[in-house]
Chains A and B, each alone.
Chain A
Amino acid sequence: MLLNRKQSGKRWHLRPDGAPKVTGQLQYLTDMTLPDMIHGRVLRSEYPYARILSIDTSEAEALEGVYAVLTSKDVPGLNRFGIATPDQPVFCEDIVRYVGDAIAAVAADSPERAALALDAIRVEYEELTPLNSTDAALAPGAPELHEHGPGNVLHRTEIKRGDAKQAFATCDHIVTETYYTPRQMHAYMETEGGLFVPDEEGRLNVYAATQHGYKDRMQLARIIGCPEEDIRVVSSPIGGSFGGKDELNVQPYGALLALRCGCPVKMHNSRKESVRAGLKRHPMKIEMQTGMSREGIIQAHRVRITADTGAYATLGAPVLNFCTEHCLGPYAIPNVDVEGVSVYTNNGLSGEFRGFGGNQAIFAMEGQMDRLAEIMNMDPWEFRRRNMREKNDPGPLNQRILVTDGLSQVWEALDRSELWQKHQHPPTDPTLPPWIKRGVGAAIAMHGAGLGYGIPDPAGGRLSLNNEGKIEVAFSYEEFGQGLVATLEIMLCDLFQCNTSDLSIIIGDTDRVPHSGSSTASRSTTMAWMALQRLQSPFRSHVLAVASEASGIPADELVTGPGGIWRKGQLPAESSEVETDVQGTGKSEKKVALALEGIIQTSEEAEKLEKAERIEAKAKEGERSDFVISYAELATQGEADEWIFDTKFDYPTTPDNVVGGHYLYTYAAVAAEVEVNTLTGETKLLDTRHVVAAGPVINPMGYIGQIEGGSVMALGFTLTEDAVMQDSRYVTTNLDTYMIPTIQDIHTQLEVEAIEDLPEGDAFGPRGIGEIGSVALAPAITAAIHQATGVWVNRLPVPREQLVRPLNVPLQEGVSPS
């Protein structure tokens, strides 16, 4: 189905956080203030690699208005953090390993004084020569950045199948190419920060963005050396993350300063500090050798991946696992020899980023496919089909995966598309000057969801009828813009035929939600859906049983509906509030409990009044129709905890013992048309089509938004984005030199086609689509560039100089060439 507003009809659901966002009323965690708060700042390293000889904070401490100056000596618990491997110091003790490394933190009564205090801290360093590339870090005799050694290797991966060496010897054609991908920056618009508030009971309230509040709480408790229950983490709403805020960033400093000073501390990184300290996408070098038979069937595939993981581990190992799994693409290859290595350097910090290593792998693998197809003189799409895995084949790691038709469906849908059809007849336009060239390219991908085999991936959720008579769900997921809350509303309205005003959705607060895992790896939608599947029937039967007792009507004649319980078959036809909301002037918008009371400052009074009116109206209606009892009345029956239902389970993984192996995949095919100016080397993306097979579309507005947003982020990855480093220092320190796409750079034609089929009886429901829009555009664009110019691009962002061609125009008569 072509996804757009028209096709979506009544499912075009307006986001409950819409009005507060467009009016500027929504308080982000970095907007929060308290009257008695002070300001925190972090002193970061002057060098990418150096030994700390001494730190003198006395002058800073003596400054007026300075409340605290902290260094490693002031960390009561573990002076380390990191989701997977806690190896990043809160404060460096003796060595700094990147320009973002923290040495001290200060709190003062104004941001200006905090800055002065940073200047007053004297640090003596012995500068060391930074390991500014993976080659330098892997060279024999290179200093070891971390003790555990050997060398500077964080992690190695391997896939070996068949006998690649021998198979290459029998291949008719072999393509050998090395691909390079950039250090992409998340560039979320809201930089890191928040408010850290110790309360009278001695608890610490942390209001700071993360993708998983519970995991932040665990790490902070470890740093502070306190029980986890002494910390409350409130972590939504978030002004964008894309993986970049999953690791702790300002939290350790804000927390320690607040506890030391006994008053609220506000932190808010400047963009420059955010660039310097924050995560980036792993730059990778991927060497590939792919051999095929005379008939164009791939026989052997050899891959060497080198990832620059920077100074600390973060999720470098899982990212490499993911890249390794995805560098075989959705193809059946008998002989495989893959090795990956993730290398510590002094080049910033690489970590989690939308697509999680898939983007790099798919760019390389799809590049190979196009090169092989050209040798065969074959249509590249047909070439892919010949080599694609069969429906029942195992996954890339030879693991069992859920069988779906997704791959062939996206292949066929793209094949039929008008845009891809243009590939056969390369677009030419006689009105264009001769230096403007056009081409069309395409790529395909299968992308794993969830964290993969062997990595704890717990999920769960809570469904209850709260004492206000709202159907309440609580998850430990976060709203960083993806539209999770809207998706939950739609799911619940579908399940219970109720109105959005009957709902209360709680996320982003460790005091109020159960532990249901993180909002990463495109997993939240699937996990929430699975949780609701498990919770709905116990919840429903309890609700109906109590309603039956109260009304004397047998439970099997009752159903849940808008406002409360109705007689079966008597639900009002229009139960959705979606349409009425379109007129929404902020009056009818519902409060989303984004954890922090008052975060959304809609008029609570008006809302209460409205609610009362609504219930009354329902009751009146009930006299005439078959309204039985309102949720509010139901909630007063029995004990409060009888209305609470919990579930816990794990994200589905393959039954086979392959670490990182996925079980659920989403599939995507992308076509792109580009225009290359061979005088300037500039590439413009004109038209794209994304076909995505991810199961039923729950929230069309969110779905389109995720694919469009992912696609434009991938456009940046392909054409302009690179956090350039020189000697391990950032050269591009802000958004004026780090180029993310603007409204002028995007493809104004972007079509999204959603394939909604799932296997019959599928127990996993809609798959997440947070990443799939961003993983396959790069190779489609570079294939299109090849059709336009004949140049095979192997490096991102596409180097313009490779596309510049001398203009071969005959000289004008009478003009002498000399």
Chain B
Amino acid sequence: MNKPLKNHWTAIVNGEHKHLEIAQTTRLVDVLRTHLQLTGTKVSCEVGRCGSCMVLMDGEPVNSCLVMAYQCEGSDIVTIEGLHGEEKGTLHPIQQAFVEEGGFQCGYCTPGMVISTKALLDAHPEPSQEQIESGLCGNLCRCTGYGGIIRAVRKAGERCAIKETSAEETVS
């Protein structure tokens, strides 16, 4: 059997330069899970419906099952492993809120949910119910019924907002 064509692929993943020899038709989700062993990004539907494979690509949330390696060549990719609080090894306020409010059960949807929440709160620091719904409607969760998730997103929003105001105060 012919060996599949390999190409150079480079990108920044969670702040680190990555260089791989892979077929350019490899899906981003496989680049992450298989080649880089970043299994925090989950895989469930593979058709862009469930959101469990969500990552940030140049700051935008994307379903990594729908992105090919050639489409994210040179991009800045952040996976769940790249999210943390002020110091590495601490929880991001969003992650913290998910823990406190019971925003997960089996946890399989959680990495994708947290990433989408990050994108949502970056765009709308104090999201309305409608913004939460449209920001997270691409992420399915079968366990929680979304109640805990909504409470977590609200709390994370409040926290981020407080942090931002206090940062502004220090500046002024």
Contacts and interface: CB of A to CB of B under 8 A. Distances in A.
A23 B40 contact: yes
Contacts of A271: 44-47
Interface in B76-111: 79-81, 83-85, 89-91, 95-96, 98-111
Interface stretch (B5-13, B67-75, B134-142, B163-171): B134-142
A308 to B, nearest CB: 23
A64 B3 CA distance: 11
Contacts of A63: 1
B84 to A, nearest CB: 8
Interface in A721-779: 734-736, 740-744, 746, 748, 750
Interface in B113-172: 114, 129, 132-134, 136-137, 139-151
B64 interface: no
B24 interface: no
Contact of B150 (A26, A710, A748): A748
A65 B145 contact: no
Contact of B107 (A237, A710, A734): A237
Contact of A237 (B37, B81, B106): B106
A691 B141 CA distance: 24
B1 A189 contact: no
Contact of A240 (B33, B90, B142): B142
A28 B142 CA distance: 17
B143 A743 contact: no
Interface in B26-59: 33, 37-42, 44-50, 52
Given A14-B100, A709-B145, A743 B132 contact: yes
A21 B142 contact: no
A447 B143 CA distance: 20
A713 interface: yes
A587 B88 CA distance: 11
Contacts of B80: 23-24
Given A24-B40, A586-B91, A735-B140, A712 B107 contact: no
A712 B85 contact: no
Interface stretch (A152-160, A396-404, A477-485, A523-531): A477-485
A307 interface: no
A18 interface: yes
A662 B113 CA distance: 39
A744 B134 contact: yes
Nearest to B111: A24
Chain B binding site: helix, strand, loop or mixed by DSSP?
A: loop
Interface centre among B100, B108, B134 (most CB of A within 10 A): B108
A709 B144 contact: yes
A705 B100 contact: no
Nearest to B83: A23
A582 B100 contact: yes
Contacts of B52: 189
Contacts of A112: 4
A239 interface: yes
A587 B87 CA distance: 12
A28 B40 CA distance: 9
Contacts of B45: 271, 734-736
A22 B110 contact: yes
Contact of A27 (B39, B46, B50, B89): B39
B46 to A, nearest CB: 6
Contacts of A705: 102, 105, 143-145, 147-148
Given A17-B107, A189-B109, A750 B37 contact: no
A710 B141 CA distance: 12
B142 A743 contact: no
Interface string A175-214: 0000000000011111100000000000000000000000
B166 to A, nearest CB: 18
Given A23-B80, A189-B142, A238 B106 contact: yes
A242 interface: yes
A618 to B, nearest CB: 26
A481 B37 CA distance: 23
A238 B109 CA distance: 12
Chain A binding site: helix, strand, loop or mixed by DSSP?
A: loop
Nearest to A481: B106
Contacts of B79: 24
B86 to A, nearest CB: 10
Contacts of B91: 19, 22-23, 584-586
B13 to A, nearest CB: 13
B3 to A, nearest CB: 10
A625 to B, nearest CB: 31
Interface residues of B, number: 62
A190 B42 contact: yes
A713 B142 contact: yes
B127 to A, nearest CB: 12
A748 B108 contact: no
A116 B95 CA distance: 41
Interface in A555-585: 582, 584-585
A744 B143 CA distance: 16
Contacts of B110: 21-22, 24
A237 B47 CA distance: 25
A701 interface: yes
Contacts of B83: 23
Contacts of B40: 23-25
Contact of B46 (A14, A190, A270, A582): A270
Nearest to B34: A33
A711 interface: yes
Contacts of A586: 89-91
A803 to B, nearest CB: 23
A483 to B, nearest CB: 7
B110 to A, nearest CB: 5
A709 B107 contact: no
A483 B148 CA distance: 13
Contacts of B100: 14, 582
A239 B150 contact: no
Contact of B143 (A18, A65, A709, A735): A709
Contact of A740 (B48, B129, B140, B144): B140
B47 to A, nearest CB: 5
A26 B107 CA distance: 9
A250 interface: no
B143 A481 contact: yes
Contact of B108 (A240, A585, A736, A741): A240
A216 interface: no
Interface centre among A23, A112, A709 (most CB of B within 10 A): A23
A712 B147 CA distance: 9
B50 A189 contact: yes
B46 A710 contact: no
Contacts of A23: 40, 80-81, 83-84, 91, 95
Nearest to A742: B137
Contacts of A18: 98-99, 104
B5 to A, nearest CB: 13
Nearest to A33: B37
A584 B99 contact: yes
Contacts of A17: 107
A189 B81 contact: no
Contacts of A702: 102
Given A15-B99, A735-B47, A21 B107 contact: yes
15 contacts: A22-B95, A22-B111, A23-B40, A24-B79, A24-B111, A28-B39, A189-B52, A190-B42, A190-B44, A240-B143, A704-B147, A705-B102, A705-B143, A713-B145, A735-B49
What are the 8 tightest A-B residue pairs by CB atom distance, in nearest-first order? Answer: A24-B40, A481-B106, A239-B108, A21-B107, A712-B145, A24-B80, A708-B145, A481-B105
Given A23-B81, A240-B143, A735-B140, 12 more contacts: A21-B104, A22-B114, A24-B40, A64-B1, A188-B106, A237-B107, A271-B46, A481-B104, A705-B143, A705-B144, A709-B145, A736-B49
Interface of A: 5, 14-15, 17-19, 21-28, 31, 33, 63-65, 112-113, 116, 186-191, 237-240, 242, 270-271, 480-483, 582, 584-587, 701-702, 704-705, 708-713, 734-736, 740-744, 746, 748, 750
